[in-house]
Amino acid sequence: MKDVLIYDTTLRDGCQAEDISFTLEDKLRIAAKLEELGVDYIEGGYPGSNPRDADFFKQVKKLKLKKTRIASFGTTRKPSAKPSQDLNLKILLDADTPVVTLVGKAWDLHVRDDLRISKKANLEIIADSIAFMKGRVDEVIFDAEHFFDGYRSNPEYALECLKAAEEGGADWIVLCDTNGGRLPGDIRRAIANLKGVVETQLGIHCHNDGELAVANTMAAVEMGVRQVQGTVNGFGERCGNLNLCSVIPNLQLKLGKKCIELEQLKKLREVSHFFYELANIHPNKHQPYVGDSAFAHKGGMHVAGILKNRETYEHIDPELVGNRQRVLISDLSGRSNIIYKAKEFGIDLKGDDHAVQEILRRIKDLESQGYEFEASEASFELLIQEALGRKKKNFRLVGFRVIDEKRKEGEPPISEATIMVEVEGVMEHAAAMGNGPVNALDQALRRALTKFYPSLEEMELLDYKVRVLSSGEGTGASVRVLIESGDKKDRWGTVGVSQNVIEASWQALVDSIDYKLYKDSRHAKG
């Protein structure tokens, strides 16, 4: 039996976030992925808000979810209508979901200034709306909107709102920090005063405007709350909602509250990145538990510690949430960083102090010039091979020329590159057009080398980034170029630095090709 039930509202609250928009197909894929994760409820949205949400409730039935329950969301009845005549309640019934979540006012300020009705009338609306729905669906959840602000302002009335929901027959009463501004102490005090007032099961719904949604939710669960509402990655209105990717492992691994199965917990990073991908948002690498940097170590002292015992600088085993330990290389690196990273590449440097010291010297020197190896591990691996005297020179550049020509106003410029290289005494000349000077140079270089190295045909440039390194020098500033390349099996990053963007790009391009050929030869031997 679960200690805490997880209610996901990504498809409703999460979609209210700036820059978030899911298609119907996205929402169906998300629902399927959430069941894989083991959440108990999926709030599909408000069926009356738009045709897409209305269609979702029809289409989601075809998924035949086994353990996760779909909830439709809407407001309590309008003050001017009886429950049986209220259009909103009718739309919720038409959605034909086993669970309906009704949101109602629990702050007298909203009753007075928003609804503009008497406090007594609001209590009647809560009670009869819930009673009407309870007689027609399996489960009714009441979201007490702004409960904690209401409790702070007028505790007696906020509690009356909860009692009205209980009298109406709500299966759950969810306490909402809708403005996201309360503190954990506020949450604890309010919940402590509910004992003996309401017997209905309690839930918690926190927004993150004070960066406290996780802390407030943890406090509520410690006080006995058994349902947690939130969104994957914390997507939501304003600053977002409770981040389920943080609270689930906190509850399960820190408080010992079972939410999902341990095998499902290992899918947490995968689910997080799946949602980012569908939202077309780059994942937050610094996100706790699931981010790329969550278990990344850069300082030499830290790396030395985790090599002896992971627990010295990691609060959990990364694999529990589907993540992994990483060691970063920079000018802060020590011997342990170098040895650890080399081991990842299958290279044992433990007995080669000279090579380790040479690699450290080179890294510190290059990073002082602006090189960066955290996102360009292929360049770093080649640097190791060079320090060990194993790096092969695959070709010699004789020369290249890049022409960027704009012939007419309003038309894009034309880029052309010509190059001459020598491979084992054989000279090769090639030319290529591109959508920019770097693309043209990349095409020409690979065209010249493919005759000697056919596997380069399957390689492609996937991403290209330029970063200006020094301020105050205008167009004469040094730049760092990061290139991501890939083939059918792998992706890898390389780096170049120069005051000339073409030269910096050339350095990164050469490393990307050298790494491809090095990787191919290693696989051939292995």
Quote the percentage of the chain above a pLDDT of 70. Answer: 97
pLDDT of residue 143: 98
The answer, yes or no, to whether residue 507 has pLDDT greater than 90, is yes
The answer, yes or no, to whether residue 275 has pLDDT greater than 90, is yes
Report, in angstroms and rounded to the nearest whole number, the Rg of the chain calculated over CA atoms.
29
pLDDT in tens, 323-360: 988 877 665 566 777 888 788 888 888 777 888 888 88
For residue 280, how many other CB atoms are within 10 A of its CB? Answer: 11
In whole angstroms, what is the distance from residue 452 CA to residue 454 CA?
6
Domains and CATH numbers, the chain: 5-260 (3.20.20.70), 296-387 (no CATH)
The answer, yes or no, to whether residue 126 has pLDDT greater than 80, is yes
- Packing angle between helix 119-134 and helix 155-168, nearest 10 degrees? 30
The one-character DSSP state at 311 is: G
Residue 364 pLDDT grade (very low, low, confident, very high; cuts 50, 70, 90): confident
Among residues 262, 328, 254, the alpha carbon closest in space to that of 295 is found at 328
In whole angstroms, what is the distance from residue 320 CA to residue 380 CA?
29
pLDDT of residue 203: 98
Give the ranges where 96-212 is alpha helix by DSSP (H).
108-110, 119-134, 147-153, 155-168, 184-192
pLDDT in tens, 179-237: 999 999 999 999 999 999 999 999 999 999 999 999 999 999 999 999 999 999 999 99
Please state the separation of Cα 454 from the chain's center in Å: 38
Give the ranges where 280-322 is alpha helix by DSSP (H).
300-308
Residue 56 pLDDT grade (very low, low, confident, very high; cuts 50, 70, 90): very high
Residue 424 pLDDT grade (very low, low, confident, very high; cuts 50, 70, 90): very high
User: What is the amino acid identity at position 21?
Assistant: S
pLDDT in tens, 14-47: 999 999 999 999 999 999 999 999 999 999 999 9
Mean pLDDT of the residues in the chain: 92
The residues with which 144 forms a beta bridge, in sequence order, are 104, 175
The one-character DSSP state at 243 is: B
316 SS3 class: coil
pLDDT of residue 341: 79
For residue 19, how many other CB atoms are within 10 A of its CB? Answer: 8
The answer, yes or no, to whether residue 52 has pLDDT greater than 60, is yes
